C-alpha cells in the first residue's frame, strides 16, 4: 500500500465510527435501526481504501464448457432395472432443447460412465423436424465431455433439440443414479431401491447434460420401473401407466420443473412407506418416506418440516415455490443429506428419530439437518452460485439459517450458544493453518470441487454471516437477503450480488456510512485466508485501549493493541493480511448485559486496515475486566494484556461474578487462552489457571471447550514419563463435578444438563474417577442379561455411547461380538452409528485389525457410508492408533478401491492418523507415506496438506510446551487430591 493509500485509510476512522449506530443484534424481534445523522450522509468517502482482490479463476478451459449453446429444457426418459432379471442397470434417452448464442459447429456437454449411442440434432422451430448433420461424436474421458461435431454451424438465437440415447450401470458408489438396499424384517429378504446423488458433478452419470450450476433449465422426467415400486422426483407424479412392451413395469411421468441446475435433479424408486404431514391451505404437502420397518421413526421430521418451511417463507418473504416437499431416508447415502428441490434425500440417521432408542443429541442432529436442507430450497435452489468457487453462498447460508430455524423450533435447546461454540471449536483451528483456504476458493482443478464441501465453506461461511447479521442488525440483514433472493430467483449469483443488496439496506437504514460497503468489509474475510488475532492493551488510568496494526506479532506484545493473522503454530509469521474487524466489548458493569445472553452485539468501534493508532474508549474501571468480541460475534481471537487476563481469571473464580461474563463468554475466554498459548502468544499458566476455576462451572459449553483443549494435550503427553502429574491434576478437577452428577441410570432435566452429565461422566471414566467404570459395567451387564436385548435396553439412550465404549474397552472379546450382533440387528440408524463407534474402543489388537478389514468389505455389514467412521473410531485410542496407522499405510490401494478412485474420503483416514502423530519419527513416516501414496491421495490433497501441518504442530508442541506444561501443573496444590488417586 502506498503512503497516500495509508493516509486515506487513516481518514476512515470517523467514517467507520458511524457504523456502530443502531445495528440491532440478530434476535427474533430486534429494535429497528436508527437512521444515520444527516451530516454523515453528506460526508465525502476517502479514496483508495484498503481492498482485497479476488483471485481470478484459473480453471482448465478445456474442462469448463463453452457458452456457445445454452440448454433451456430437458425431456428425460430412464428405465431402471433394480435387480429385475438379476440386472442393475438403466437405459433411456434425453432430448435437450438448446439455443445457440453464436455461430458454432461444436456442442460440448458432460457425460461420465455412460454408453451414449449416436446423437441427433434437429431444428426446434418450424413445422418439420429438420435434421442438422452430425459429423462425429466423441467422449473425452478426462474432461467427462461428450463432444459433438456438426456439418454446419448453428444459427445464433435459433433453437435446436439434441437427442441422445444412453445406457449405464446402477452402481453402489453412492454417486449418480445408484442402488441401495435394506433387509426387510417381515420377510427377511433384501429390498432394493434406486436413488440419485448428483451434487456436485454427478448428474452426468445418469444422462448427458450441461452439468455446471449456471446452465439452469427446466426438466420433464419419465421413469420406467417395476410396478411394485413407487417413483419420486422433484415434482409430484402426474400419472403412472403400464408399459405394454414390458409386463410388470410401469412408466411414471412428472410435470415440468421450475428452472434449476442439473445437480438438483432427483429420482428415487423404492417400495418405501410414506407418512404425510397435515397440509395447511396454500402450503406445500410435506411427506416423509423410508423403510416400512422405520415407520415409527418418522413422526419428528413430519412435525418440524412444515414449521421450518413456514419460518423461512416468513423470514425471506418468499413463498416456497413447489407444490410438495418429499423427504426420503436412504439406507446408503454419501452425505448427511442432499437438498434436491422438492425431493430431499437423507442418510437415515439424519432424518429418522426413535424416542426409545435415539439420543437427544441425535434428535438435535435431525432437527438441524432438516432445517439446513429446507433453507437450501431458497439458498442454493432458488438462487444458485454461478460457479463452485462461491459454494459458501449455498452451504454457509444454509448452515447459518439452520441455526436460526432450529433455535426458533426449540428455544429451550440453547442452540445459538451451542452453534457459536461449535463453530469456534471446529472452524477456527482449521482456519489457523497455513494450508487453509479462503471461503471463496478459486477452483483450478475438478477435484477441488468435491473438496470444497468442507468446514471452511460451511462453518466459517456461517460464522461470517452471523458477524454480518450482528453489525448490520436484523432489519437491514433480513431485508437485504430477501431483496437478493427476489432479484436473482431462478437464476445464479455470486457474493458481490449479495454484498450489493446488503449494502443498499445498510445505507438506507444508516447502519453503515456511505463511504463503507459490505463488500469492502467482507472481502477481507472471504477472499483471503485465515482470520486475525486482535490484541487489546488497556490504558487503565484513562479507561481506553490503543489500537493499531503491525505486520508481525511478538510473543507478548508490549506496545499498542494490534491485529495480525493468527496461526496455530508459533513458528509462522503473518504475511500482510488485513481485516476490517467489528469490535464489541462488555464488562461486569455493562448495563446492557449483552454478554449473558446468546445475542451478538453491534460494534462499538472498528479495527480497520492500514490505519494509524486509534483509541477505543468506554472501557471499565481499573479493577474490572473487559471482554471483547461479545458472544463470539466475530470470527477472530482476542489477546489481552496480563492484567486483564488476571481480572478475567479472578472473575471466573468468583461464584458471584462469573455469571456476568456470560455462558458463551466463559467458553470463549478459555478457548482463546488455550489457542494463544499453543501459538506461543501466552504462557500456559493463563489457560491452566482458567481451568482451575471450573470447579464453579455448572454449564455445558465452558466445560466442553476446556475438556476439548485438555483432550488434545492429554494425547500429546500420554507417553511422557511425567504424565501422571497431568492425569492427577485432571482427576482433581473432575472429581467434585462428577460427584455432583446423578447416576447414569437417573434422568436429567434439560438438554444442556444432559450433555454436561454425559461429558463429565465420559471424562470420569477416561480418567477412572469415582465409580464411573463400575456404573458402565453394571449397565452393560444388565443389558447383556436381558432375554430380548434388541427390544429392551436399560441403558439411557443419551449415555449409550460412553457405556458401550467403556464396557468394550474393559471387557472381553465376547462382549465385542455380542455388541456386533446388536449392530447387525438394530433397526435404528443412529443406534447403529453409536455401536460402530463403541466397537472401535476395544483393546484387543486382532479384533481391531479385523474390524478395519470389515470396514472395507462390502459384505461385512459395514455400509460404505460408515467406513471412514469405523477407521476414525479405531484410530482415536492409544491402542487403536498403531493398528489404524499400519492399516492405512499398507492398505491404501484397497481403501481407495473401496470408495472409488475419485472419492475424497481417503482424506479422512489421513486426517485421523495425522491428528495422533506426536514424534518427529512418526511425522517423517507420515510424510514418506503421503509421497509414496500420492497417486491414491490426489483427490484428497487438501486434507493431506492440513493433516501434515497438524501433525507437525503436534511435534512442535511437545518440543516447545511439554516442559512448560508440567512445570506449571507442578505449581498447583495437589494435597487435596490424595483421596482422588
Largest CA distance in the chain: 96
| Inter-residue contact 271 to 249 (CB < 8 Å) | no
Q: Is 799 annotated as a binding residue?
A: no
| Inter-residue contact 457 to 391 (CB < 8 Å) | yes
Closest to 608 in 3D by CA, of 703, 513, 688 = 513
CA separation for the pair 83, 61 (Å, rounded)? 40
880-899 helix and 845-855 helix, angle to the nearest 10 degrees = 10
CA separation for the pair 35, 514 (Å, rounded)? 12
CA separation for the pair 536, 538 (Å, rounded)? 6
956 given a catalytic annotation? no
Torsion over CA: 639, 641, 646, 651 (sign): negative
CA separation for the pair 693, 653 (Å, rounded)? 5
Contacts of 389 (CB under 8 A, 6+ apart): 57, 440, 441, 442, 443, 452
User: Residue 680's CB: how many other CB atoms inside 10 A?
Assistant: 19
Q: Is 376 annotated as a binding residue?
A: yes
CA separation for the pair 339, 320 (Å, rounded)? 14
| Inter-residue contact 926 to 914 (CB < 8 Å) | yes
Contacts of 718 (CB under 8 A, 6+ apart): 878, 918
**DSSP state string for 161-184:** EEEEEEEEE-BSSSSEEEEEEEEE
| Inter-residue contact 331 to 305 (CB < 8 Å) | no
CA separation for the pair 101, 579 (Å, rounded)? 42
Give the active site residue among 373, 577, 922, 956. 373
Closest to 97 in 3D by CA, of 77, 74, 127 = 74
CA separation for the pair 3, 1 (Å, rounded)? 7
Q: Is 372 annotated as a binding residue?
A: yes
Tell me the CA distances in angstroms from 810 to 245, 421, 581, one per residue in order: 62, 32, 50
Buried b (16+ CB within 10 A) or exposed e, 609-641: bbbeebebeebbeeebbbbbbbbbbbbbbbbbb
Closest to 335 in 3D by CA, of 823, 827, 864, 833 = 864
- What dihedral angle (degrees, nearest 10) is formed by the CA atoms of 160, 165, 170, 172? -50
- Residue reference for cell 439420543: 359
Give binding residues as ranges.
372, 376, 395
Give binding residues for Zn(2+) as ranges.
372, 376, 395
**Which residues are catalytically annotated?**
373
Amino acid at each position: 500500500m502506498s503512503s497516500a493509500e495509508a493516509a486515506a485509510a487513516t481518514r476512515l476512522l470517523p467514517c467507520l465510527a458511524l457504523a456502530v449506530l443502531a445495528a440491532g443484534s440478530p434476535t427474533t424481534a430486534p429494535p429497528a435501526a436508527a437512521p444515520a445523522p444527516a451530516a454523515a450522509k453528506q460526508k465525502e468517502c476517502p479514496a483508495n481504501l484498503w481492498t482485497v482482490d479476488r483471485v481470478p479463476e484459473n480453471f482448465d478451459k478445456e474442462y469448463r464448457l463453452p457458452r456457445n449453446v445454452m440448454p433451456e429444457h430437458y425431456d428425460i426418459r430412464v428405465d431402471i432395472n433394480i435387480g429385475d432379471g438379476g440386472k442393475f442397470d438403466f437405459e433411456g434417452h434425453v432430448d435437450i432443447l438448446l439455443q445457440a448464442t453464436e455461430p458454432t459447429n461444436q456442442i460440448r456437454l458432460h457425460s461420465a460412465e455412460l454408453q451414449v449411442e449416436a446423437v441427433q440434432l434437429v431444428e426446434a422451430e418450424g413445422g418439420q423436424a429438420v435434421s442438422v448433420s452430425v459429423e462425429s461424436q466423441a467422449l473425452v474421458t478426462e474432461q467427462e465431455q461428450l463432444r459433438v461435431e456438426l456439418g454446419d454451424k448453428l444459427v445464433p438465437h435459433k433453437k435446436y433439440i439434441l437427442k441422445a440415447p444412453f445406457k449405464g450401470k446402477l452402481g453402489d458408489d453412492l454417486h449418480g443414479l445408484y442402488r441401495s438396499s435394506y433387509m426387510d424384517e417381515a420377510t427377511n429378504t433384501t429390498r432394493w431401491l434406486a436413488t440419485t446423488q448428483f451434487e456436485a458433478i454427478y448428474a452426468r452419470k445418469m444422462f448427458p447434460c450441461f452439468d455446471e450450476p449456471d446452465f439452469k433449465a427446466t426438466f420433464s422426467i419419465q421413469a420406467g420401473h417395476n410396478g411394485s415400486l413407487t417413483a419420486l422426483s422433484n415434482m409430484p407424479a402426474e400419472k403412472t401407466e403400464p408399459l405394454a412392451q414390458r409386463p410388470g413395469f410401469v412408466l411414471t411421468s412428472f410435470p415440468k420443473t421450475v428452472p434449476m441446475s442439473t445437480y438438483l435433479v432427483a429420482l428415487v424408486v423404492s417400495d418405501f412407506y410414506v407418512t404425510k404431514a397435515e397440509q395447511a391451505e396454500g402450503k406445500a404437502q410435506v411427506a416423509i418416506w423410508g423403510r416400512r420397518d422405520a415407520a415409527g421413526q418418522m413422526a419428528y421430521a413430519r412435525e418440524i418440516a412444515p414449521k421450518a418451511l413456514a419460518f423461512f417463507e416468513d423470514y425471506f418473504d418468499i413463498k416456497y415455490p413447489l407444490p410438495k416437499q418429499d423427504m426420503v431416508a436412504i439406507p446408503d447415502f454419501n452425505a448427511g443429506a442432499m437438498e434436491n428441490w422438492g425431493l430431499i434425500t437423507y442418510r437415515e440417521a439424519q432424518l429418522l428419530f426413535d424416542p426409545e432408542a435415539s439420543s437427544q443429541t441425535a434428535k438435535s442432529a435431525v432437527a438441524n439437518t432438516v432445517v439446513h436442507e429446507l433453507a437450501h430450497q431458497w439458498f442454493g435452489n432458488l438462487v444458485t452460485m454461478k460457479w463452485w468457487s462461491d459454494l459458501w453462498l449455498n452451504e454457509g447460508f444454509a448452515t447459518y439459517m439452520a441455526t436460526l430455524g432450529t433455535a426458533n423450533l426449540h428455544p429451550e435447546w440453547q442452540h445459538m450458544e451451542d452453534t457459536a461454540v461449535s463453530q469456534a471449536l471446529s472452524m477456527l483451528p482449521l482456519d489457523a493453518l497455513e494450508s487453509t483456504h479462503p471461503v471463496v476458493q478459486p477452483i483450478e482443478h475438478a477435484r477441488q470441487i468435491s473438496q470444497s464441501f468442507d468446514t471452511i465453506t460451511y462453518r466459517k461461511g456461517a460464522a461470517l454471516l452471523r458477524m454480518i447479521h450482528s453489525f448490520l442488525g436484523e432489519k437491514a440483514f433480513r431485508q437485504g437477503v430477501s431483496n437478493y433472493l427476489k432479484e436473482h430467483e431462478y437464476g445464479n449469483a455470486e457474493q458481490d450480488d449479495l454484498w450489493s443488496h446488503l449494502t443498499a439496506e445498510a445505507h438506507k437504514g444508516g447502519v453503515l456510512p456511505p463511504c463503507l460497503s459490505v463488500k469492502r468489509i467482507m472481502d477481507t474475510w472471504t477472499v483471503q485466508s485465515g482470520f486475525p488475532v486482535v490484541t487489546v492493551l488497556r490504558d487503565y488510568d484513562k479507561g481506553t485501549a490503543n489500537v493499531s496494526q503491525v505486520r508481525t506479532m511478538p510473543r507478548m506484545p508490549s506496545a499498542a493493541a494490534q491485529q495480525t493473522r493468527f496461526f496455530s503454530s508459533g513458528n509462522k509469521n503473518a504475511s500482510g493480511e488485513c481485516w476490517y474487524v467489528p469490535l464489541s466489548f462488555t464488562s461486569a458493569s455493562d448495563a446492557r448485559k449483552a454478554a449473558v445472553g446468546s445475542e451478538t452485539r453491534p460494534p462499538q468501534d472498528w479495527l480497520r486496515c492500514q490505519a494509524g493508532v486509534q483509541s477505543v474508549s468506554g472501557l471499565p474501571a481499573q479493577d474490572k475486566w473487559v471482554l471483547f468480541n461479545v458472544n463470539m460475534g466475530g470470527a477472530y481471537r482476542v489477546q489481552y494484556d496480563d492484567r486483564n487476563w488476571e481480572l478475567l481469571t479472578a472473575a471466573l473464580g468468583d461464584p458471584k461474578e462469573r455469571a456476568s461474563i456470560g455462558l458463551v463468554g466463559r467458553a470463549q475466554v478459555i478457548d482463546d487462552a488455550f489457542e494463544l498459548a499453543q501459538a506461543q502468544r501466552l504462557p500456559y499458566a493463563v489457560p491452566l489457571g482458567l481451568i482451575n476455576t471450573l470447579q464453579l462451572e455448572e454449564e455445558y459449553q465452558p466445560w466442553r471447550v476446556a475438556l476439548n483443549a485438555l483432550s488434545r494435550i492429554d494425547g500429546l503427553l500420554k507417553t511422557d514419563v511425567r504424565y501422571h502429574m497431568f492425569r492427577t491434576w485432571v482427576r482433581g478437577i473432575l472429581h467434585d463435578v462428577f460427584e455432583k452428577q446423578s447416576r447414569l441410570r437417573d434422568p436429567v432435566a434439560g438438554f444442556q444438563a444432559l450433555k454436561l452429565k454425559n461429558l463429565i461422566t465420559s471424562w470420569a471414566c477416561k480418567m477412572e474417577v469415582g465409580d464411573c467404570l463400575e456404573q458402565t459395567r453394571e449397565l452393560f451387564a444388565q443389558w447383556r442379561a436381558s432375554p430380548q436385548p434388541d427390544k429392551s435396553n436399560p441403558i439411557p439412550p443419551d449415555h449409550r455411547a460412553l457405556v458401550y465404549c467403556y464396557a468394550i474397552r474393559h471387557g472381553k472379546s465376547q462382549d465385542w461380538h455380542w455388541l456386533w450382533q446388536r449392530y447387525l440387528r438394530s433397526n435404528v440408524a443412529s443406534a447403529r452409528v453409536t455401536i460402530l463407534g463403541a466397537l472401535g474402543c476395544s483393546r484387543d489388537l486382532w479384533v481391531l485389525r479385523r474390524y478395519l478389514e470389515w470396514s472395507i468389505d462390502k459384505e461385512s455389514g459395514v455400509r460404505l457410508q460408515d467406513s471412514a467412521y469405523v477407521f476414525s473410531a479405531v484410530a482415536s485410542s492409544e491402542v487403536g492408533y498403531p493398528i489404524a496407522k499400519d492399516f492405512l499405510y499398507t492398505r491404501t490401494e484397497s481403501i481407495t478401491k473401496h470408495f472409488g478412485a475419485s472419492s475424497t474420503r481417503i482424506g479422512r483416514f489421513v486426517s485421523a492418523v495425522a491428528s495422533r502423530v506426536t514424534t518427529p519419527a512418526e511425522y517423517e513416516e507420515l510424510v514418506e507415506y503421503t509421497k509414496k501414496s500420492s497417486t491414491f491421495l490426489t483427490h484428497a490433497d487438501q486434507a493431506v496438506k492440513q493433516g501434515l501441518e497438524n501433525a507437525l504442530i503436534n511435534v512442535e508442541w511437545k518440543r516447545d510446551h511439554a516442559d512448560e506444561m508440567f512445570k506449571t501443573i507442578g505449581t498447583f496444590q495437589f494435597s487435596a487430591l490424595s483421596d482422588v488417586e
